[in-house]
Structure 1
Amino acid sequence: MHPAPTDLAARRAAFRALHAQGCFVLPNPWDVGSARYLARQGFAALATTSAGCAWSEGRPDGAVSLQATLEHLRLMVAATPLPVNADFGDGFGATPDAVGQAVAAAIDTGVAALSIEDASGDAQAPVRPLDDALARLRAARVAIDRSGADVLLVARAENFFVGVPDLDDTLRRLRAFAAAGADVLYAPGIQTREQIVAVVDAVAPKPVNLLVGGPVPFTLPDLAALGVRRISLGGALARAAWGGLMQAVEPICGQGRFDGLQGAASGAALNALFA
């Protein structure tokens, strides 16, 4: 059952409030079961992962259609009482107008926020020209404002994530995105203390999301002290689950051994979780 409008409004207000101070972890489930598990662990909000969703359908990241993504968002919003931040890729449109239409459809699923990235998908020029990226982001901003929904707009500068680790260009893009109406700024792939501080300072006082996709030399309090407002895990939890499956299956296929099943979760525990 889809949540009532009053429930969605309360979720969206709560999600905006999370960004006002402090630092919180925004984990990324990839299906209803993982969403419900993470909600039971006490997280205050959830974010989808385009990669995790794609892998669950046997597809590479980026190969899930707009309609399938919208259906996934509806399922994730209905799965728990928590606000959901949508990983919305590049906005699913060849033009800014198409991006605006897709964003309007995403808002109707009940999400509390959605991200728009500036990656192009072109290996020769993996980051969109800034003017193009800004036009698409502004279209998303207009769609949100027209909806009247309190949905946060997250702008992603993909330089470091797509192999163009140019910090100066990243900062230039993030400043422009902030000026164009982004509520939260995000540069996935930055890793060092200096990079993180530079991004936080560049867009202050707007909140910054940091991607932590594996072990890092920082704790949650460390990152809070650097000014990071929220931490997402991207596809890391989905990759961890796939890693567990691979570690269980490979000894069976390669050696006829079943040792890899030793770390499997208890069926009784899973049944109790979802009862």
Structure 2
Amino acid sequence: MRTQLEKFDRFKALHSGEQAFVMPNPWDAGSTRILDALGFDALATTSAGYAFSAGKRDSFAGLGREEILENAAAIVAATDLPVSADLEDGFGASPQACGDTIALACDIGLVGGSIEDATGDETAPIYGLSEATDRVAAAVEAAKGRPFLLTARAENFLWGRPDLDDTIRRLQAFCDVGADVLYAPGLPDLDAIRTVCNAVDKPVNVVMGLQGPTYSVEELSKVGVKRISVGGSMARAALGALRRAALEVRETGTFSYAADGYPGAELAQLMEQGKAPDRQ
């Protein structure tokens, strides 16, 4: 097994490649093992995917730091790949809360994670620039000297504020205080993505499958993207397959969906092989 430092070094190096790398988002240990076996270079958690699996809404009010980190720890334990985490708003408004979250994330073996500038308050959905920057700065300080790559997220486009200029100002401010990777989910098109990449001098993450049009790895690489994640879209795809299978059974009384299922023998090989501790 790689050490945390070895995983961090590998993760950091991926961001300097000529072509963007894809960092898919498993939501539990089982989906982690499947994605690991398919040959990806790194993985990231998804708060949305975890929330769906736990029967909860993906919301700041509904998800706590302890359960998010517990889920992330299970994902880290299920793979030898570098894992970055969706750490939402840092689980608190204060810079101290953001810093504490980063320290705890590093302690469980994560080699990266993101802090966003959304408040969770629909009446004032985005932190002011100064406050948002202070929060990122505290996260940077907490990660200093540790094997952890910090991603700073500007959330305007997910919260009804499609202001590209302000988004870029925010990303530049986050860059200035030491964020390692920059991320503005929900950008509307390839031109906007290109504009963001040209405006900053740190690697840019783009999410595909969340909303709006999708672009290929090649297209995104050409405009300067270094990292591509998929958020909760793979979890939603899996749940979509479950719904289609259930509707077939409920509406037609047939079971043809099973032909498209992951072969059981292959799944058995991918999963944990040890015995439960209370088994003789």
Which TM-score applies when normalising by structure 1?
0.92
Per-residue deviation, 1:254: 4.0
2:152 aligned with 1:155: yes
Aligned residue identity for 1:270:
L
- Percent sequence identity is 47
Matching residue of 1:21? 17
Pair 1:164–1:252, CA change in 2 (3 A): same
Per-residue deviation, 1:269: 2.6
Matching residue of 2:48? 51
Bigger mean CA offset, 262-271 vs 42-51: 262-271
Matching residue of 1:194? 191
Distance, in Å, in 2 between the alignment partners of 1:272 and 1:144 is 36
2:230 aligned with 1:233: yes
Matching residue of 2:104? 105
Alignment of 1:165-184 (within 5 A): 165-184=162-181
Per-residue deviation, 1:263: 2.3
SS of equivalent residue, structure 1 residue 122: coil
Aligned residue identity for 1:125:
A
Alignment of 1:61-72 (within 5 A): 61-62=58-59, 63-72=62-71
Distance, in Å, in 2 between the alignment partners of 1:199 and 1:236 is 23
Which TM-score applies when normalising by structure 2?
0.91
Higher helix proportion: 1
Note the alpha carbon deviations across 1:4-30, whole angstroms, 9 max, x for none: xx7111000110011122210000000
Per-residue deviation, 1:71: 1.1
Stretches of 4+ aligned residues off by more than 4 angstroms: 214-217
Alignment of 1:241-256 (within 5 A): 241-256=238-253
Bigger mean CA offset, 9-18 vs 58-67: 58-67
Pair 1:101–1:218, CA change in 2 (3 A): closer
SS of equivalent residue, structure 1 residue 221: helix
2:210 aligned with 1:219: no
Number of equivalenced pairs: 268
Bigger mean CA offset, 247-256 vs 234-243: 247-256
Per-residue deviation, 1:272: 3.0
Note the alpha carbon deviations across 1:17-65, whole angstroms, 9 max, x for none: 1112221000000011111111111101000001001111111113221
Aligned residue identity for 1:76:
I
